[in-house]
C-alpha cells in the first residue's frame, strides 16, 4: 500500500479539508474492495449452482437464474476492478493481481455473450469453475501499485484490454473444445449417463468454439494495431523484436490456421477441437513464461 500522508494518527493539524477527505476515502478503500470481492465470489458460486441445477434437472428457471447471477457477479467484479483502478491511478493490468482479475472478468463476459448469442446455457456449469479459479488466483497474489509505463493513455489501455480479451476468448474456446473431446469420447465408448443428453450437441459446441476464436482473433488483431501505434509514438518504430511480439504473431497464425482448416471436412469435429486445445498451450506460454521471464517490457499483460 502506498504511503498516504494520513497514515499516522492523529492527523497533522495542518492537513487540509480535501486531504482529510482523501484520507477517509483511502482508509475505506480496501474494506470496500473486500466486500466487493466477497460479493463477486458469492455471485459466481451461486451462478455455478444455478447452471448445475439446470444441467441436472433441465428446468429453464435454474438456467435463467444462473445467467442473472452471472450478470450480478460480473457487475460486482467490474466495480472491484474500477476501485482497484482508482487506487492505482491506472487501468488495473500492470501487475499479476490486476491482470488475472481482468482476465477472469473478460472470460465470464465473453461466455455470457456467447450464451446469449447461441441461446445455450448447458455449458455454463463447466465454464464458471474456470472463471472462479482464475478470480481466486488473482486474490491470492499481492496487489501492488505498479510502476507506470513510459507513457499512458487510451492507446495503451485499449491495446492491453483487447489483448487480454483475446486471451480470454481463446481460453473459452479451449474449454468448449475440451468438452467436445470428452463428450465425443463418451459417445464413442457408449458410456452415457442421463446428464450428458443435456449437454449441447457436438455441432453446437464446435460453433461456439469457432465463435470464441473469432472474437479472440479480432480482439488480438485490433489490440496489436493499437500497440504498434503506441510503440511507434514512444520509440519511433513499430517493431522491437520482443519475445512477446513474436509469440503473439505465432498465436495469431495458429488460430487463423484453426479457422482455415475448419472449413474443410477432414478437419472438423474432434481434429479441430484437439488443435484448439493444443493452440491454447501457446497462449498459456505467452501469458506466463514470456511475460514473466522473457519479455523486456511486457509484464503481466
Q: Do 217 and 168 form a contact (C-beta atoms < 8 A)?
A: no
Say what the pLDDT of residue 98 is: 80
pTM of the model: 0.80
Extract the C-alpha cell encoding 92: 488495473
Looking at the predicted structure, is the pLDDT value of residue 156 above 90?
A: no
Confidence tier at 291 by pLDDT (50, 70, 90): confident
In whole angstroms, give the CA distance from residue 165 to residue 227: 14
Check if the beta carbon of residue 137 is closer than 8 Å to that of residue 107.
no
98-148: pLDDT as tens digits: 888 899 999 999 999 999 999 888 889 989 999 999 999 888 776 555 555
pLDDT, residue 75, reads: 97
User: How many residues are recorded in the chain?
Assistant: 301
267 or 219, higher pLDDT: 219
Cα–Cα distance list, 151 to 13, 71, 228, 240, 296 (Å) = 37, 34, 14, 17, 16
Q: Residue 30: pLDDT band by 50, 70, 90 thresholds?
A: very low
What spatial distance separates the first Cα and last Cα of the chain, rounded to whole Å? 21
Encode pLDDT of 170-209 as tens digits.
999 999 999 899 888 877 776 665 555 567 778 888 999 9
Nearest to 78 by CA among 45, 27, 50, 37: 37
Q: Measured between alpha carbons, how far is 180 from 293 in angstroms, rounded to an integer?
A: 33
Among 32-36, 198-202, 223-227, the range of highest mean pLDDT? 223-227
Amino acid at each position: 500500500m502506498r504511503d498516504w500522508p494520513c497514515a499516522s494518527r492523529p492527523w497533522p493539524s495542518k492537513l487540509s479539508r480535501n486531504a482529510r477527505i482523501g484520507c477517509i476515502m483511502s482508509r475505506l478503500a480496501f474494506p470496500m474492495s473486500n466486500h466487493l470481492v466477497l460479493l463477486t465470489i458469492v455471485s459466481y458460486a451461486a451462478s455455478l449452482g444455478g447452471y448445475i441445477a439446470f444441467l441436472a434437472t433441465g428446468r429453464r428457471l435454474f438456467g435463467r437464474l444462473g445467467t442473472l447471477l452471472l450478470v450480478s457477479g460480473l457487475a460486482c467484479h467490474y466495480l472491484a476492478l474500477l476501485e482497484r483502478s482508482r487506487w492505482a491511478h491506472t487501468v488495473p493490468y500492470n501487475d499479476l493481481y490486476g491482470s488475472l482479475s481482468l482476465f477472469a472478468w473478460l472470460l465470464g463476459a465473453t461466455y455470457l455473450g456467447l450464451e446469449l448469442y447461441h441461446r445455450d446455457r448447458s455449458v455454463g456449469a463447466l465454464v464458471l469453475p474456470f472463471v472462479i479459479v482464475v478470480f481466486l488466483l488473482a486474490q491470492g497474489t499481492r496487489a501492488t501499485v505498479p510502476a507506470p509505463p513510459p507513457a499512458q493513455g487510451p492507446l495503451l489501455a485499449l491495446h492491453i484490454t483487447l489483448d487480454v480479451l483475446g486471451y480470454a476468448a481463446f481460453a473459452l474456446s479451449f474449454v468448449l473444445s475440451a468438452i467436445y473431446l470428452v463428450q465425443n469420447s463418451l459417445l464413442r465408448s457408449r458410456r452415457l449417463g442421463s446428464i450428458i443428453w443435456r449437454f449441447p450437441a457436438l455441432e453446437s459446441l464446435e460453433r461456439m468454439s469457432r465463435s470464441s476464436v473469432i472474437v479472440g482473433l479480432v480482439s488480438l488483431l485490433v489490440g496489436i494495431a493499437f500497440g504498434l501505434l503506441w510503440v511507434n509514438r514512444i520509440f519511433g518504430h513499430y517493431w522491437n523484436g520482443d519475445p512477446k511480439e513474436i509469440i503473439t504473431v505465432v498465436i495469431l497464425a495458429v488460430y487463423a490456421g484453426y479457422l482455415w482448416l475448419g472449413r474443410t471436412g477432414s478437419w472438423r469435429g474432434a481434429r479441430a477441437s484437439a488443435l484448439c486445445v493444443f493452440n491454447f498451450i501457446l497462449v498459456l506460454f505467452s501469458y506466463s513464461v514470456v511475460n514473466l521471464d522473457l519479455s523486456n517490457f511486457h509484464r503481466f499483460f
